[in-house]
Amino acid sequence: MDQKAITEAAELLWGAWMKGNLLDALPARCRPVTIEEGYQVQAEIARLSGQAQFGWKIAATSKAGQTHIGVDGPVAGHLLSGRVFSAPARVPFQPNQMHVAEAEFAFRFGVDLPPRPTPYSRQEVLQAVSSLHPAIEIPDSRYMEFAKVGAAQLIADNACAHYFVLGDAVSVPWREIDLAEYPVMGTVTGKLRREGKGANVLGDPRLALLWLVNELSRLNIGIKANQVVTTGTCVIPLEVNAGDHVIADFGRLGTVETWLV
């Protein structure tokens, strides 16, 4: 894709995001066909937004999530500062066509991890983390049939990023805890209660974090100090609607809640 096509694709998607309308797909003249082109469009959307980058999200870190959006592996997206809330929060809901909320582990970085030719190790990545947080993501897509457009277009659409709610930093020594086996409870008050665990996130949320760092490095993108990475849902996504009260309960690691208004 040349810069003209990248800009056109980003303007169409950002316009749909702002207006709340949906696209069938990007026009062929500006449609990304590779993952790398998708990330180029995504970066242009972040620029067009005029918002600071709060961090990154990982989508499709479980088989259920991959099936839901029609991809065969995880994808990354920008967390834009204007779309981030501190818990407890009241979050705008409509328009939203995906109608789900996700209970996630989020990691804040204390130092930069710049791109480099060799992959980062799990130890290097975890040493760079300054804090762990419980979080809720409320994703959405700008495509009418998001499960059919393919990975490149979904990445261009910021990997279905929409709103994000960050809980307080975990105060217990979380590095001593096996996050893969750690239980998580998601609740939509009065309607739904669903259990999961960290292993639903690529086998371990720490492995998802490692994937993200090295995927960005491969794309010549680095992680910046103070950025937050949310690693994907530990619980089968919770079906939600406007007016719902959503709670993600991480036990001794904390609770995060949001009201969808």
**3-state helix/strand/coil string of the chain:** CCHHHHHHHHHHHHHHHHHCCCECCCCHHHCCCCHHHHHHHHHHHHHHHCCCEEEEEEECCCHHHHHHHCCCCCEEEEEEHHHEEECCEEECCCCCCCCEEEEEEEEEECCCECCCCCCCCHHHHHHCEEEEEEEEEECCCCECCHHHCCHHHHHHCHHHCCEEEECCCCCCCHHHCCCCCCEEEEEECCCEEEEEEHHHCCCCHHHHHHHHHHHHHHCCCCECCCCEEEEEECCCCEECCCCCEEEEECHHHCEEEEEEC
The architecture in CATH of the region 51-260 reads: Alpha-Beta Complex (3.90)
Per-residue exposure over 107-133, b if at least 16 CB sit within 10 Å of its own CB, e if not: bbbeeebeeeeeebeeeebeebbeebb
What is the average per-residue pLDDT within 25-40? 98
Note the pTM of the prediction, 2 decimals: 0.96
| pLDDT tens-digit readout, 141-200 | 999 999 999 999 999 999 999 999 999 999 999 999 999 999 999 999 999 999 999 999
Strand-pairing partners, residue 79, are 55
- CB contact set of 19 (below 8 Å; sequence gap of 6+): none
Confidence of residue 62 (pLDDT cuts 50, 70, 90): confident
pLDDT score of 67: 79
What's the residue count for the chain?
261
Helix axes 3-19, 35-49, angle to 10 degrees: 60
Q: Which two tokens stand for residue 51?
A: 């918002």
- Sign, Cα dihedral of 33, 137, 229, 104: negative
Average pLDDT along the chain: 96
Instruction: Answer positive or negative: Cα dihedral of 250, 69, 55, 20.
Output: negative
Task: Please report, rounded to a whole number, the percentage of residues in the chain having pLDDT higher than 90.
Answer: 94
Burial class of residue 234, CB neighbours in 10 A (0-12, 13-18, 19+): buried
- The CA-atom distances, in angstroms, between 174 and each of 23, 41, 126, 159, 251 are 42, 36, 11, 28, 12
Place of tokens 């669903």: 194
Domain locations along the chain = 51-260
pLDDT in tens, 109-146: 999 999 999 999 999 999 999 999 999 999 999 999 99
